[in-house]
Amino acid sequence: MEIKICGIVYEISYEKEIEFTAWGSINHVHCTIKLRKDLNPQCQDTAFIEEVIHGILAHTGFQGKHNETLIQSIANGLYQAGITRDSFEITGGK
């Protein structure tokens, strides 16, 4: 599966384990988003939204470490407003 973030195509995968026991991660060099596949759907949705927010920030000039608490708060707020992975245009990809 794939998603475009600021015009850049990111490959989405679901992994058994992700570094640092995170729910999700984004790699801007390899253009990948990894989500833990053992999470319940609601947690996968919020983790996905968080990684998209990281991508948006990185591609709009906010380099370096992002404020994780702020990003989690925004992601949770968007999820509570009804935004889920299904709200995004995700294509079949490779």
Does pLDDT of 17 surpass 90? no
Query: φ and ψ at 93, to 5 degrees?
Result: 65, -155
Beta strands of the chain (E only): which ranges? 2-5, 8-15, 24-27, 32-36, 90-91
pLDDT tens for each residue of 62-90: 888 888 999 999 999 999 999 998 999 88
Q: What is the pLDDT of residue 51?
A: 95
Residue position matching structure tokens 């906010």: 62
Among 6, 55, 57, 67, CA closest to 29: 55
Domains of the chain, residue spans: 2-91
Long-range contacts of 60-68 (CB under 8 A, 24+ apart): 60/6
The predicted model scores a pTM of 0.89
Residue 93 pLDDT level (bands cut at 50, 70, 90): low
Q: For residue range 37-62, list pLDDT tens digits in order.
A: 999 999 999 999 999 999 999 999 98
Domain with residues 2-91, CATH architecture: Orthogonal Bundle (1.10)
